[in-house]
């Protein structure tokens, strides 16, 4: 999969920009604040997911405009496609001239993997970022997962509201068993999807990490649930979750929130059987983050039969020369967009097109 053409209008600080990128490496360089990341952000929106920088669509529109539009022509093994994302108070999308009911319908049509500075700290940061990583990755290969997760989060929000109000309206306690049954059912679907994905992720990421570490170290990945279940059969997960919700009801009433479930779960990464989050060096943590993101790209290719477009946002300067070389060698034969402040940082390592960005304008 690769993009043949990009048109960006009134998107953040970009008034208008048209690009015909290379099918290989595309280097986008310039000083900070000129609009480099905006290009990658616009490309990412065609995954059907929200921006990797903000959850507010209104922040994507240029200050001097009421709306913005991004259009691409992208090519898969089967056909050429055109797609557009239009943003006013929220995002709208079309594919091959047909208006979609929601941008989420782009999921499964276009694939991309983004790697930004926040992903370099994926290992050492809190579990919310690791959950976001895994949920976004699964959504690209499973068109139903985002709906499952949204439904589960909706139930949790409703349950938490009841927990907060139960002290003033004790009659609400009579509804908790019904809510817990629904939450256990929905949560089990989310957990099962995550476990199945992590099995694939570990198998691929450990080989990639072994290559980065010159065969010196072994990496493992596992799912860390906030409650115990005997096996990953979905019925077993559901029953264990329901019992756990009942067991923790008094504590949850005290806390006024649901203390266990996939919204509290985590991903554990081990290097040489030791927790990477607690004991790994910065270099080991960054190598593990790289391995996870490139494994994500390989999973997309294995399942969907298409190489995703790779977006590397300002990460090269954070990596030593060995890891820079590994990135560029590992992702050959894929379309790549790399942003950096200095052209020399990556131009000596790749062939393709180079764009300089100044005040939201591109000079090829």
Residue 270 CA to residue 336 CA, distance in Å, equals: 29
251 has pLDDT over 90:
yes
Residue 171 CA to residue 167 CA, distance in Å, equals: 9
Over residues 30-50, the pLDDT tens digits come to 998 899 999 999 999 999 888
Cβ-contact 129, 19 below 8 angstroms: no
Over residues 222-247, the pLDDT tens digits come to 999 999 999 999 999 999 999 999 99
Q: How far apart are the first and last CA of the chain?
A: 23
Structure token pair of residue 192: 């099962």
Sign of CA dihedral 291, 319, 8, 92: positive
Over residues 98-153, the pLDDT tens digits come to 999 999 899 889 999 998 888 888 999 889 999 999 999 999 999 899 999 999 99
Supply the pTM of this predicted model: 0.89
Over residues 69-91, the pLDDT tens digits come to 999 999 988 899 999 999 998 99
CB atoms within 10 A of CB 64: 8
Residue 73 CA to residue 84 CA, distance in Å, equals: 9
Over residues 184-223, the pLDDT tens digits come to 999 999 999 999 999 999 999 999 998 888 778 899 999 9
- Output 58-64 pairs: Cβ under 8 A, ≥24 positions apart: 58/89, 59/12, 60/11, 60/12, 60/87, 61/10, 61/11, 61/12, 61/87, 61/88, 62/10, 62/11, 62/12, 62/13, 62/14, 62/15, 64/10, 64/15
């Amino acid at each position: 999969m690769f993009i043949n053409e990009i048109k960006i209008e009134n998107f953040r600080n970009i008034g208008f920009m048209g690009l015909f990128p290379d099918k290989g490496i595309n280097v986008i360089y310039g000083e900070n604040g000129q609009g480099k990341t905006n290009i990658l952000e616009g490309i990412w929106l065609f995954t059907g997911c929200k921006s990797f920088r903000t959850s507010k669509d209104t922040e994507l529109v240029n200050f001097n405009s009421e709306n913005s539009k991004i259009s691409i022509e992208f090519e898969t093994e089967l056909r050429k496609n055109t797609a557009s994302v239009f943003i006013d108070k929220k995002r709208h999308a079309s594919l091959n001239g047909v208006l979609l009911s929601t941008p989420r319908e782009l999921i499964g049509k276009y694939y991309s993997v983004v790697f930004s500075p926040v992903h370099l700290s994926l290992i050492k940061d809190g579990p919310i970022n690791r959950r976001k990583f895994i949920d976004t990755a699964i959504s690209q290969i499973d068109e139903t997962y985002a709906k499952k997760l949204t439904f589960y989060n909706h139930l949790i929000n409703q349950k938490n509201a009841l927990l907060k109000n139960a002290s003033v309206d004790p009659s609400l306690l009579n509804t908790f068993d019904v809510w817990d049954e629904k939450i256990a059912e929905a949560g089990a679907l989310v957990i099962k999807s995550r476990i199945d994905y992590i099995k694939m992720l570990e198998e691929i990421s450990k080989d990639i990490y072994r290559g980065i570490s010159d065969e010196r170290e072994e990496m493992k990945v596992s799912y860390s649930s906030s409650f115990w279940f005997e096996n990953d059969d979905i019925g077993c997960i559901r029953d264990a979750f329901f019992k756990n919700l009942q067991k923790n009801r008094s504590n949850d009433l005290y806390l006024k929130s649901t203390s266990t479930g996939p919204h509290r779960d985590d991903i554990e990464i081990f290097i040489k059987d030791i927790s990477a989050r607690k004991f790994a060096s910065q270099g080991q943590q960054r190598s593990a983050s790289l391995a996870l993101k490139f494994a994500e790209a390989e999973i997309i290719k294995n399942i969907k039969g298409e190489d995703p477009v790779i977006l590397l946002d300002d990460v090269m300067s954070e990596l030593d020369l060995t890891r820079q070389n590994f990135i560029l060698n590992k992702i050959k034969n894929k379309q790549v967009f790399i942003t950096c402040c200095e052209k020399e940082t990556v131009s000596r390592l790749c062939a393709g097109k180079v764009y300089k960005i100044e005040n939201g304008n591109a000079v090829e």
